[in-house]
Amino acid sequence: MTATVPPGLPAGPRALLAYDGSGIDGGLYSRVVGWADRAPHWLDELVKVWSAVGLGLFALLMLYAWWRARGADSVVLARVLASPFVVIVAYLVNSVFKSLVEEVRPCAQIAGTVSLETCPGAGDWSFPSNHTVIAFAAAAALWFAFRGLGLTALAWTGWVAAALMGLSRVWVGVHYPHDVLVGALVGTAVGVPLALAAGRAAPLVDRGRAGPLGALLGAGPAGPGMPRETPARMPAD
């Protein structure tokens, strides 16, 4: 496979930079899609399905975290409830990057590339990978949520799933490795501080638990400061 620079690479009216990403790691990209081309059909199909719908796993993990956090303290529940918003903010930040940096998809840039997934059309820029940003932002949010719940294995599961999502985007041929690497950095850089800051919303969770949202938010733990029922004393004879 040889890299070719397509016509019309000058930056658009809002872009700061338009460039040929094949000069960064096009060789590694070509090697990976070559492996995909020679891989067993079942493996390619598995990766394609994961690449297409794998982000749904993070939504399921967030739902499970909410279910478990109803009995947790308000800081943990606040972080769980903030998880979807952390992902949305990370996606919006990445959208700004995509509008400022116009990098043609490798499947369109590198001649002879055979991608497992249909190559996105013109104007659907490659850098950074949206899927990877979303996955790593979700993994960061879930890390603090599940650690707060004492579910360390699930906390690590988010990171593993995010890494597999990023790798799958290169395997199916729609991203360069550096698109995925920067996407992981953006998702983590946005996700970690926002997830930590979400704990400051604990007072809002407390008010919600005392109001009409109590059934959804749960009662929380019975801590040392919570009133406890004491057994009634029998009257003396």
pLDDT at residue 145 in the model: 93
Sign of CA dihedral 155, 157, 163, 166: negative
Three-state DSSP at 13 gives coil
The string of pLDDT tens digits covering residues 25-50 is: 888 998 998 999 899 999 999 999 99
C-beta contacts of 155-158 below 8 A and 24+ residues apart: 157/61, 158/58, 158/61
Please return the burial class of 223, using the count of CB atoms within 10 Å of its CB with bins 0-12, 13-18 and 19+. Answer: exposed
Secondary structure of residue 5 in the 3-state scheme: coil
Helix ranges (DSSP H) in the chain: 22-38, 41-53, 55-69, 74-100, 106-109, 130-148, 152-171, 177-198, 202-210, 214-217
Q: Quickly state the pLDDT bin for 193 (edges 50, 70, 90).
A: very high
Residue 229 has pLDDT above 60, yes or no: no
Please tell me the predicted confidence (pLDDT) of residue 1: 34
How many domains are contained in the chain?
1
Residue 4 confidence (pLDDT) above 50: no
User: Which is higher by pLDDT, 205 or 5?
Assistant: 205
Note whether residue 19 is domain-resident: no
126: number of Cβ within 10 Å? 24
Q: Considering the domain boundaries, does residue 97 fall inside one?
A: yes
Count CA within 13 A, CB hemisphere, residue 8. Answer: 6
Residues 149, 64: Cα–Cα separation, whole Å: 11
Taking the C-alpha atoms of residue 107 and residue 100, their distance in angstroms, rounded to an integer, is: 21
- Output the pLDDT for position 170: 95
Q: Has residue 159 been placed in a domain?
A: yes
Q: Is residue 110 part of a domain?
A: yes
Position 236 in a domain: no
**What is the per-residue pLDDT for 220?**
67
- Residue 89 tokens read as 């903010």
Position 208 in a domain: yes
**pLDDT, tens digit, 9 for 90 and up, residues 76-123:** 999 999 999 999 999 999 999 888 888 888 888 887 788 888 888 877
Q: Euclidean distance between the first and final Cα of the chain, in Å?
A: 97
Question: Is there a contact between 139 and 162 (Cβ–Cβ < 8 Å)?
Answer: yes
226, 94 Cβ separation under 8 angstroms? no
Inside any domain, residue 5: no
Show the domain range for 134.
Answer: 26-217
In the chain, % of residues over pLDDT 90: 50
The average confidence (pLDDT) of the chain is 83
Please state which of the ranges 2-6, 115-119, 168-172 shows the lowest mean pLDDT: 2-6
| Span 57-81, average pLDDT | 91
Residue 168, exposed/middle/buried by CB under 10 A (0-12, 13-18, 19+)?
A: buried
Single pTM value for the model:
0.82
